[in-house]
Chain A
Amino acid sequence: MSRQASGLQAWAVQRLTAIYLGGFFIYLIVAVLLDPPASVELWRARFGGVASVAWLLFVLALCWHAWIGIRDVVLDYIHPPVWRLSALVAFGGGLVACALWGFKIILLAAGG
């Protein structure tokens, strides 16, 4: 990560992903309240087509947002380089795994 990516860019990305996450959450709540899916098939239909792209972006935005947040916490609290690197690798690896898992779930659901 470049110096720029670690400062301004991370800050900007955190805000942009927050806007997407906020908007998506509101859409999701409204959509479920107005038209609650009655069956698993109807749920799965919500993941098809354009919706699958929106879901994939949601998982990506969530993990990216979480990464910047957790990186901030690590930079604040964990100072010894070895512990810091270990924490960043652990959290980063965990988030990448979560993202891949999320992608798999969405693509499987979208594929019917």
Chain B
Amino acid sequence: MARMVPGASNLRTCVFLALRELSFARGRFSLMGVVIALIAVLMVLLSGLSAGLVNDGVSGLKALPSSTSFAFDAGTKQDNAFSRSVVDEAQLAAWRDQPEVAEASPMGVSIVNAVTDAGDQVDLTLFGVEPGSFLAPEGSALDDPGGIVVSGTAANLDLGTVVTLDRIDTELEVVGFTDAQATFGHVDIAYLPLATWQLIAAGEAPGGSPTTEQVAAVDVDEFSVIGLKGVPGSALAAGDAEALAAGDAVAETTTMSLEESFNASPGYQAETLTLSMIQWFLYAIGALVVGAFFTVWTIQRSHELAVLRAMGASARYLLRDGLTQAAILLIVFTAVGVGVGVGLGALMPEGMPFALEAPAIAVASALTIVLGVLGAAVAVLRITRIEPISALGGAR
């Protein structure tokens, strides 16, 4: 007699039934799978958009070592604190005296409009930093008082391009680019020497390119924030609130760790909150849809489940069977959706803030699957209420 029976009897028992039912009801399951895959696509796109916006908002800060903190003038409103805060040399000196501070460096922040010599209008975030300090971009010299180092992703700017700041007609020349994207508040960063920044901020900049003499003559001891680098391993380097507060008390500042300071950049909090809210809604919808599907599916096969119970299948066996189906469905179609989402991500138009980051996608996929299985678990729990006795008598 030929063993012509198809089917893999080498699979484990709990998968035995689950797989056969998946393939038997493949129409229904693929319909559900498509919904899961679409949710996963949306999730990947949202995650990419979210990461892209974060990069657009604070990539200039993110590139700094994680032990960095920023000291703002005490009492500065947190939103837009980078460009609103004003601190002076005395506060800087106070921070430099703190034992756990390895380096304290002043930084000036302002957002300006400018026109390139080709006539293109550009927005720039001026980051005035002390050349050679840890806040300055790596590799590029900032010796020229009229030179700027701009984000590697900046459009319309080439080496040697001269930008003229609106209203004050100060001319700055692009002398270098950062390695990676460097943006702040969705605007490309232009790094320039702190002295030049102070000249511009004080309103003393003459038209044309700033000269060394003009810069040397500037008598301004104010800037926006103080960048702090903690001694490695210290509480301050770890962003410990108490360590920061001790320095704040002396220097009359409000200090935030690097992560916290993201919130002090324009629009950051509103954007990330909105996007993460949409993502959580998506997870909830996914879990509910999967739950609803498995509720109907379980009711549909309740007679079959009663027969299995009468035959001696334990409720646990049937629960595992249902959950296995849910897990297989979710894992397979989330993977499909992530694949499609990543593919679509590659097609995103230039200029759209979009960045696919593997850890974020992995976490989002895991959440989709885990919450989906939870939704299914609530649904298949009704299996325990199925009475095997209902297998007897007229049915079907």
Physical interaction between A and B:
no
Q: Measuring CB to CB, which residues of chain B are less than 8 angstroms from any residue of chain A?
A: none
Q: Measuring CB to CB, which residues of chain A are less than 8 angstroms from any residue of chain B?
A: none
